[in-house]
Amino acid sequence: MIVVTGGAGFVGSNIIKELNSRGVTNVVVVDDLTDGTKFRNLVDCKVADYIDATVFRDAIRTKTFPHRPRVIFHYGAISSITETNGKKMLDANFTYSKELFHWCKDQGVRFIYGSSAAVYGNKTTFTEGDRLEAPLNVYGYSKMLFDQYVVKNTDPRCPQVAGLRLFNVYGPGEQNRETSPSIVYQFYEKRKAFKAIELFGEYAGVEAGQQKRDFVYVQDVARLNCWFLDHPEINGIYNVGTGVASSFHEVATAVASHFGNTEGYIKFIPFPAELKGRYQSYTCADIAKLRRAGSVLRFRTIKEGIKDYMEWLEKNESLDY
């Protein structure tokens, strides 16, 4: 059995789909479906069971969970960079993760979890290691804190523990996210509705529309998670991105071009005041450590990913569940 926390979420549901493509269906989904619309991400997934996140956490905390899974993919978290309730964030992303980490250590269960490039903040070097993190928000801090905790509390006797620092993930399944979807999807929605794609203006020395991110396709992220499943000997914290930064203007142009015309569909707006001092203007994953670990997975380029994603959206957006 395999457990996927956050299994009805964006990345979690894609991991389940990747497992299904390998013939693995003995998957237990752990999530909170208070927002019932999240079920859409599970409609085409084959799973063995669903457990409410609160029930699961209580069972882990009291050591009454009756199963010993092969591995836990831990993607249950608060992912909003604008969430300011630090107590809520640290409980969900740090304390809960610690509880699950220790349970896995005690039970001999492998633990693969989602971290985030938000730990780097405004750093210009994106290499895994001490003193290279400088988060700009409590979300990034919660992820950094847990990464550091894992490093300090993992020893050679532990089963596999791998933390994947995801850069800007986009692709199928994000339409049902509780937080804002990727800019790729936001740009698609704007252009489809014949509205202008709005890009941030100049801020902190970065020209208008030239904020850059390392955009990574969610299906590639799911495949990499399963690569770690195939390699139980690989431990540690790893960046997950393409290793290439693309500007928001480049992304907007690619999305608008999909509809056959860019003229008049891209405009600039003042940089939002609420994001000043809390916003990463540049990210680019250093994936040298991942390559040294033996992964040769090829990540889609932003143009390839946008093409695949636009085609998927056109095929699936009309489905009525």
What are the domain boundaries of the chain? 2-169+216-241+284-299
**pTM for this structure?**
0.94
Structure confidence by residue, pLDDT tens digits, 261-289: 777 789 999 999 988 887 888 999 999 99
Task: Match domain 2-169+216-241+284-299 to its CATH number in 3.30.43.10, 3.40.50.450, 3.30.310.10, 3.40.50.720.
Answer: 3.40.50.720
Structure confidence by residue, pLDDT tens digits, 128-157: 986 789 998 999 999 999 999 999 999 888
Q: How far apart are CA 321 and CA 316, in angstroms?
A: 11
Instruction: Please give the pLDDT value at position 263.
Output: 76
